[in-house]
Structure 1
Amino acid sequence: MRRWTRPLLCLCLVLGGNAAEGADPVNYNVSFAPSGDGGLDGLMKQTSSLVSLQKKLPPAPFALIGRARTDETHFITVLHALGYDAGTAKITIDGMSLNDPALLDHLTRLPQGSQAKVAISTQKGALFSLGQVNITGLPAGFKPHPGIRTGQPATAAPILAVPAKLTTDLQNAGYAFAIVAPPYAVANEATHTLNVSYSVTPGPRVDIGAVSFSGLTRTDPAFLARHIRLRQGQPYSDKAVQQARDSLLGLGVFSSVTAVPATQAVSGQVPISFHVTEQKLHAVTLSGAYATDLGVSIGTSWENRNLFGHAETLTLSVAANGLGGTGTTAPGYDIKGVFTKPDYYVRGQTLTLSAEGLQQSLTAYRRTGIIIGGSLSRPITAHTAITYGPSFTTERVDQEGVARSYVLAQFPINFTWDTSNSLLEPTRGHKLSLTITPTMPVVGTPHDPFVILQGTGSVYFPVERKAWGVVALHGVLGSIQGASQFGVPADQRFYAGGSGTVRGYTYQTIGPLFADDTPQGGLALDAINLEFRQHITKSIGIVPFIDAGQVSAGSAPFKGTLRVGAGLGARYYTSIGPIRVDFALPLKRTPGSSAFGLYIGLGEAF
């Protein structure tokens, strides 16, 4: 009979006893006899104090014997933890049992420079399986799902995990004060089974009580109460409480949120208090990136995180770009203001208003414009969302010495499906984005209306333990329908080359060209990127990659001239994401493209 929750005592032995007093430390080596279970052998070596302390702290003779006794007891715990409840472990030193009264004198008299031989052997015996699993004290109508079943190997981890799982399940069913005692296990050596019992004290079934907030300085508590899906009188659920906490953190207003249910019910209800710490109201950020084609980009932004007390944000940013790039003809700028309001009329729906002034001087065209837009974004499911809203652009575009002015009315509709596990360093899952942008030229050079269709997708496959090796695949597909190539403003056409499509080629140099090799831009785009992201150390990685893509003058994809680039990247992994440096070569240079491309930024390429 044994209890799984009996703690493992760590014995710290000091030099003592007349026989060992003043004795020199004993050097020793350790050998393990194979048990036939590689997992057991590995765990014994990893947890052995004889192994871990061998070089760090040479022991005196008495301490070596004590260290070995500690390991011998510990190995029994390891055997039980892996389901070998009848297993035994034996340790000898120079062939002598630890209980041999002559062992201490033998170690004391070892010649200087000699090594004692510590031999460890285990007899694992039969692998025990779970017999009866008894759970007593459950409330009427509650069906338990302990996560273990009769017949499975009687390993410790799943057996010890049952109390926490049952407690969580009971709390989610309204039993806020449920207590599940540690398991009581009885081994039957005749049948090689382990019978396990759990005792449950469910307590009363309760509801959510009054919800309150503490620590607020600027935020309206009435807004927070509407924002969280937690209402007084609904059945108590720990999951619902934690979801409310996560939704508060997602507002971006708080640096910490702690949900504190009351320790006892009041009239059958449990009051919930959320203790919050508000972030600083204002934040200033600096940003920078470099690419050989687009040059240096530097910017700064100022943000108010809680403008009117309802988690509204106002972000003002300014950036200089196109500094020294091979694909630019002069420096440009981008000045932008963005206002967001969460829970706009409907919980989860976000209103975004933006105004932007920019100037771009690229190889294909020079553009100066103002863009004003508004959009609504809301989740559809936990991983999908839709964003839609109008935007208006007034701009002047110069291409091939011809200047044209436009006023465009657009209504982009975007659908996203994202199951990836990180924004800056995804290692599993996928991302999918589909955008439809109906466009109507309303003032200026007359053009037919057209629709821009574009889809992007990424998928990530971890191929090594802890995702130290990840295969990443990315694709882009676009088409413009409703107008001819030159019936679409130059800045609205598709271009390829550079970090967004095919690295190694200068931005805009893939696709149809004018007679002087200036990029025309096209009505269709397709590109694919393949990377293998390999950690070398915890903070250093390398990324070999290959890209391919094309742009065609017509609106049908896959009909241009395919261009391929390949290269190698380096990564320095930080707490805010990887710092990325990619070096790429075009397999066949196009007119106007550089011989190589260098790209530096924060976060993965996709």
Structure 2
Amino acid sequence: MRFWALAGLIIALFIPAARAADQGLDSATMKVSKLVIAGNKAFSSSKIKGIGLRLAPSLFHAPVFTMADLRRDTVLIGQFYESNGFMKVRIMADTALLNPRRHRIKVSVTINEGPRTTISGVRIQGVPSADQAGLLALASALPGAPLRVQDLINDAQAFTNWLGDRGRLEAVVNYHYDFFPDSLSASVTYEIQAGPVIRTASVAVMGLKRVHERVVTQCVDFQKDEVVTRIKLREAIDNLYSINLFSFVMVSFDSLLSPVTGDSSSRVIRVRVFERKYFSGVLGAGYQTYEQMRGRAELSYGNFIGLGIRGYAIGYANMINQGAELGGTVPRIQGTPLDFNSKIGYRHQNEPRIQMAGTYRKLDNSVTYHFSQQLRASLIHRLETSRLSVVPPVLPANIGAPFTHSMAIEATRDTRDDLFDPHHGSFMDFTTTFSGLTGKASNHFIKIEGDGRVYLPLGKSVVLASGIYGGIAMPYSPSRAVPVPERFYLGGSKVMRGFGDKQAGPDSSGTPTGGTLYLASNVLEVRYPIYKWIWGDVFFDAGNLWDVQSSAVPAFIKEVSKLNLLYNAGFGLRVHISVVIVSLDVGFRLNDGAGSSKNPAFHFMVGNSF
């Protein structure tokens, strides 16, 4: 009896499997729940699955099985190995039913990698020997290194760029390699058609309607008979985009000889632009835990008198601050990378948490020099008046004059790939302010602040982010203290997220008093995808704020050297909705300052924390 029961069970399991085999593992019903890769030593299974295999399942998706996809994936794995120097790789694939009732199968791929091919020699043909030495210094594919096709592609592009930087913009670089099976080596050859050194015959501008041509020619700045390089073309395009007058820019040169000179190397530089709409109106709204609802409206016109001069009016409001600004920008003065900016502003502040309220008026004039698209420096002249209606009771009533006359120097370097959701790059900003330019009528203080952030991709999705911030404010005679509005506060959605906004550092009976010295860091934040447009993050912050009542530098150094830091950690969610990021962070204090609460801090906002 047991024998027949066992036989019946075997037949019951065999019949669905046989039907699936007869149907060729029908793609309408069979799904891959498991993909096993074996025999791989040079590359991890996750690396191989990440090259674009169609039959690789994920946590939320089981792909439909077809024999065509199986053949495609095995060919793709073979090509991947061959492109990395494994010329004798062998791939075998097999399938097995895992759950006949649910129509689930397992795909097994066995890889026999074989030996790896190395490069025995590299040759460059078509350029002088002096240029060959410069090109070889850029090469990744060198004798003794493993043969990787991607290295050859990268080298060809690097050679093209190197030649383009020297005016040979029509250079063509091809490569091939000869494989020697007996020695498992390959000889690589780069064949270069360098072409002529391109020079400027003239500049032709097309597409202008309301912008003066000299605005474009100042940005492009090609002189007659000047060598046209790849870098020069890139700078011309960047300069044209930087003045915010054009929605599309294209800079090219004739591929034929110049009709002006008849010289094969002398070409007409053609600049084609499409002007943007110069009048714009923008309305924005958001929410942040401390400021709560906030809104912003802006009207601007970007091309006064046809020279790209921009004027704007801005109004903003939240539960803490309400204000307005009027300003203008003159871009690229006399064709130089120098901008002039001017603005006047009014702000009303009512901040119960720090028991301070008042009104502020300011006039800013600045010039900004753009060393490159990523690096700029500004010189800022500021006049500001303040009228405080509520002063924190724990601070002296005569802590500052109502007038501040200052000059500031600011340097900024920004290489982030995205301003709102960076995955790699860095941001650095350093500002030094000297106040007291109008004698005793002005507050006298020196204020220095720094902001540095770095973003590193880990694989294709995970991002490591870190930031460090610091500031110091010192009065000097005749002022006895730093003005109340110039004091630092710490804590909130950007850094020290275990605290509410402005709640890290000195306080009096629960009221933050601010300070004159701070050091804080987003020591490490890990951002990772959870599901499609939902991301998560975990973070660790450290820092503190001190109130040093001194104008002597050693007093500040002494305070920082104590390393009396506050630590906090937490986690959060990021929801990516179109171009908007909605964030929620929860921070926990790992150690506490005097009188601080151990309750977690919640920070809800639109945008990333930093």
In which range does the TM-score fall when normalised by the shorter chain? 0.7 to 0.9
Partner of 2:582: 579
Q: TM-score, normalised by structure 1?
A: 0.76
Give the distance between the partners of 1:69 and 1:547, measured in 2 at CA. 53
Q: Secondary structure at the match of 2:82?
A: helix
Give the letter aligned to residue 362 of structure 2.
I
Give the letter aligned to residue 423 of structure 1.
L
5 Å-filtered alignment, 1:446-595, equals 449-460=443-454, 462=456, 464-466=458-460, 468-483=462-477, 487-499=481-493, 502-503=496-497, 505=499, 507=501, 520-537=513-530, 538-539=532-533, 540-555=535-550, 556-557=555-556, 559=559, 567-573=570-576, 576=579, 578-584=581-587, 588=592
User: Cα gap change, 1:130/1:582 in structure 2, threshold over 3 Å: closer, same or farther?
Assistant: same
The offset of 1:233, in angstroms, is 1.8
Partner of 2:358: 367
1:407 lines up with 2:400 in the alignment: no
Residue deviations 1:169-209 (CA, integer Å, cap 9, x gap)? 3333222322334x333221222222233333323332133
The offset of 1:374, in angstroms, is 0.2
CA contact (8 A) 1:184 1:197 kept: yes
Give the letter aligned to residue 334 of structure 1.
G
User: Cα gap change, 1:67/1:56 in structure 2, threshold over 3 Å: closer, same or farther?
Assistant: closer
Q: Secondary structure at the match of 1:336?
A: strand
Residue deviations 1:385-436 (CA, integer Å, cap 9, x gap)? 3211321112312326869872321112223344444433344454433322
5 Å-filtered alignment, 1:146-185, equals 146-181=139-174, 183-185=175-177
Residue deviations 1:361-399 (CA, integer Å, cap 9, x gap)? 223322212111101111356654321132111231232
Give the letter aligned to residue 224 of structure 2.
Q
Partner of 1:317: 314
1:356 lines up with 2:356 in the alignment: no
5 Å-filtered alignment, 1:50-61, equals 51=55
Q: Secondary structure at the match of 2:346?
A: strand
Q: Secondary structure at the match of 1:532?
A: strand
Q: Which of these residues, 128, 131, 136, is aligned with residue 142 of structure 1?
A: 131
Q: Secondary structure at the match of 2:216?
A: helix
Q: Secondary structure at the match of 2:43?
A: helix
The offset of 1:160, in angstroms, is 3.8
The offset of 1:532, in angstroms, is 1.6
Give the distance between the partners of 1:536 and 1:412, measured in 2 at CA. 41
Partner of 1:343: 332
Q: Secondary structure at the match of 2:460?
A: helix
Q: Percent identity?
A: 17
Residue deviations 1:528-553 (CA, integer Å, cap 9, x gap)? 44342322335322343435322315
Partner of 1:423: 419
- Of stretches 497-506 and 157-166 in structure 1, the one that deviates more from structure 2 is 497-506
1:216 lines up with 2:208 in the alignment: yes
User: Cα gap change, 1:39/1:364 in structure 2, threshold over 3 Å: closer, same or farther?
Assistant: same
Give the distance between the partners of 2:603 and 2:177, measured in 1 at CA. 60
Give the distance between the partners of 1:74 and 1:425, measured in 2 at CA. 33
User: Cα gap change, 1:134/1:566 in structure 2, threshold over 3 Å: closer, same or farther?
Assistant: closer
CA contact (8 A) 1:509 1:593 kept: no
Residue deviations 1:216-263 (CA, integer Å, cap 9, x gap)? 332222112112353332213223212321222222222222233222
Give the distance between the partners of 2:567 and 2:392, measured in 1 at CA. 27
Residue deviations 1:46-98 (CA, integer Å, cap 9, x gap)? 77989579x86766xxxx5x88877776665444322123445567899xxxx
Give the distance between the partners of 2:358 and 2:94, measured in 1 at CA. 83
Q: Secondary structure at the match of 1:270?
A: strand
Give the distance between the partners of 1:233 and 1:578, measured in 2 at CA. 50
- Of stretches 115-124 and 577-586 in structure 1, the one that deviates more from structure 2 is 115-124
Give the letter aligned to residue 344 of structure 1.
I
CA contact (8 A) 1:318 1:334 kept: yes
Give the distance between the partners of 1:419 and 1:577, measured in 2 at CA. 21
Give the distance between the partners of 2:43 and 2:415, measured in 1 at CA. 33
5 Å-filtered alignment, 1:383-398, equals 383-398=374-389
Partner of 2:19: none
The offset of 1:121, in angstroms, is 5.4
1:434 lines up with 2:434 in the alignment: no
Give the letter aligned to residue 246 of structure 2.
F
Give the distance between the partners of 1:115 and 1:472, measured in 2 at CA. 44
User: Cα gap change, 1:40/1:187 in structure 2, threshold over 3 Å: closer, same or farther?
Assistant: farther
CA contact (8 A) 2:377 2:410 kept: yes
CA contact (8 A) 1:377 1:387 kept: yes
Q: Secondary structure at the match of 2:159?
A: helix
User: Cα gap change, 1:573/1:232 in structure 2, threshold over 3 Å: closer, same or farther?
Assistant: farther
Partner of 1:204: 196
Q: Secondary structure at the match of 1:391?
A: strand
Give the distance between the partners of 1:57 and 1:533, measured in 2 at CA. 34
CA contact (8 A) 1:230 1:241 kept: no
Q: Which of these residues, 582, 603, 608, is aligned with residue 604 of structure 1?
A: 608
CA contact (8 A) 1:229 1:244 kept: yes
Partner of 1:82: 84
Q: TM-score, normalised by structure 2?
A: 0.76
1:130 lines up with 2:129 in the alignment: no
Q: Which of these residues, 259, 264, 283, is aligned with residue 256 of structure 2?
A: 264
Give the letter aligned to residue 466 of structure 1.
K
The offset of 1:123, in angstroms, is 4.6
Residue deviations 1:505-527 (CA, integer Å, cap 9, x gap)? 5555556667x876555443444
Residue deviations 1:419-477 (CA, integer Å, cap 9, x gap)? 4444333444544333222222859xx66752232222323353732361414232222
